Chains A and B, each alone.
Chain A
Amino acid sequence: MSYEQLMQHAAEIERLAVKGALEQKGFVYDPHGNPHAPTDIGEQGAQDIIDMTAKQFSDVQSMFSPFASMPDPNAFGGMRDDMLAAMRELSTGQTPTDPITGLGVEANITLDAMGGVGDALLDWHGKAAETFKLNFVEPFDSFTRNQFMLVAILKGGIEAEQEIWKNARANADKIAHDAITALEHMGDCGKNDWTMLFTVGASVAAVGATVVTGGTAIIALTAVGAASQVVAAAAPDDPPKTQFSGETAEAVISQVREALSTLASEIRKQEQKIASAMTSCSSYVVAHRSSFVAARPTLAGATASTVRDSQSGLGEA
């Protein structure tokens, strides 16, 4: 594939469309690529037809230009790697599997030390000690697991973005190549039919990611991932397929316009899937913040005079 040459392909499509249209009007191209009118209509008459035909296809390149600067899927790699690194930091060893891809995530053994914290605090008594154990020590595994899930969901969203743009670039390139083939085929005997598979339309797949709440209840959030990487919960969507047909240069260019419009529409649909999943997860987190992070300790607002208070401070050890 040659997405980087998309605008060069567009220029070639324009050139071939003009050539095809002129040949269909009876013009003959000499070996040097110059068109000659079929009958003696005079130099000016021929030039007028050539100019009119060139003008007819002058918007071909602008049709492709919005697709020439689509995001580079590789540019998401850094963000995706950062998310994976964050998952490793939050991987307790109890849930060492990426819920989106099903791949294992290396556990952070530093987190295992949290298991001994309770024993180390046996001699600490009072309100602050109880609150610390209740709010921080006991739910630590759940917080970590839930945060791990959130980062996995973000990583899934980024991988879905990568998949969209990888496929969108390949589809735009295929549309251009098919148009060139159709135009090169114009003067040949056979009918000019071709099929376009919009793989971008099957880029994003929904997958469930569970978080725990209240230590026992399990909530399934709808996350998304790259369809080629997600744990197969269900068969992936079939990519939309469209049959095109064009026996004249005008018809081929009209089909190209339709194909590009379908491509844009499929990109929007896939982006919407990601946006919906992210908005839904974000709303859940906002509404259930206490399942993801511990409440701000009262001690954080303590002053020198209250730091040893038995209610709001450390109390007596």
Chain B
Amino acid sequence: MGVLADRLDSMHVRAATPDGTISGRLNGRTDVVLTFAPGYYDKCSERDLERRLATLATLLWAGRMRAFYAALSEAYEQTITGEDRPISPRDVEYAELRDALVAQGRSADDRITVSVRGMREWNIRVKDGTVREIDEHAFAAAVGEAAAELIRDQFAQIARLKNRVYG
């Protein structure tokens, strides 16, 4: 295993919503763990959760990309903080298609649906009645399942997209 794979497998990224009610951790490539401020989950609504989780996902993925570029810099032994502006027609096409790419994930119990366009516009759907029917630990586990499926879907689509544009 190379340096990059090793760093991505052992990556730990943390983020929290601005009001501190929900915190998230991305361990490795796909393992997302949620924690709630004491007492918050039982008082919130499904719509509150959807909004906050979308914010958290944005922050968590931004942190993930920072950690990714740090790992990439270490692997290539050169500082890389992002990518150059696409100039060639193929790079422009790839960037446009990647920005339009929609990845999705769903929890095994179908309560949580997560989707994202271009890894920027997050959309979280929590089935009505969920807060009342399952506790915060079960909810966090369901979000973890949906998030892992979404990340795997994103990477699989990226691999196919690169083959389509550059292959």
Judging by beta carbons under 8 Å apart, are A193 and B84 in contact? yes
Q: Are B83 and A190 in contact (CB under 8 A)?
A: yes
Contact B162 A24 (CB under 8 A): yes
Query: Does A250 make an interface contact (CB < 8 A)?
Result: yes
The interface residues of chain A lying within 8 Å CB-to-CB of B2 are 12, 177, 180-181, 184
Residues of the A chain whose Cβ atoms lie less than 8 Å from the Cβ of B68 = 188, 190
Near A by CB (< 8 A), chain B positions 40-83 give 65, 68-69, 72, 75-78, 82-83
Residue of B1, B82, B160 touching A24 (CB-CB under 8 A): B160
Q: Which of A185, A191, A195, A248 lies in contact with B167, CB distance below 8 A?
A: A248
In the complex, whether B25 has a CB less than 8 A from a CB of chain A is: no
Would you give the shortest CB distance from A115 to chain B, in whole angstroms? 56
Residues of B within 8 A of A (CB-CB), count: 33
Which chain A residues numbered 173 to 201 have a C-beta less than 8 Å away from chain B?
A: 174, 177-178, 180-181, 184-191, 193-195
Q: Can you list, as one digit per residue, whether each of A102-122 has a CB less than 8 Å from chain B (1) or not (0)?
A: 000000000000000000000
Q: What residues of chain A have their CB less than 8 Å away from a CB belonging to chain B? A: 12, 20, 23-26, 28, 174, 177-178, 180-181, 184-191, 193-195, 247-248, 250-251
Q: List 16 A-B contacts (CB under 8 A).
A: A23-B159, A24-B167, A25-B163, A177-B2, A180-B2, A181-B2, A181-B3, A184-B5, A186-B162, A189-B119, A190-B65, A191-B84, A194-B76, A194-B78, A248-B166, A248-B167
Q: Apart from A188-B68, A191-B83, A195-B76, list 6 A-B contacts with CB within 8 A.
A: A20-B159, A180-B5, A181-B3, A189-B65, A190-B68, A193-B84
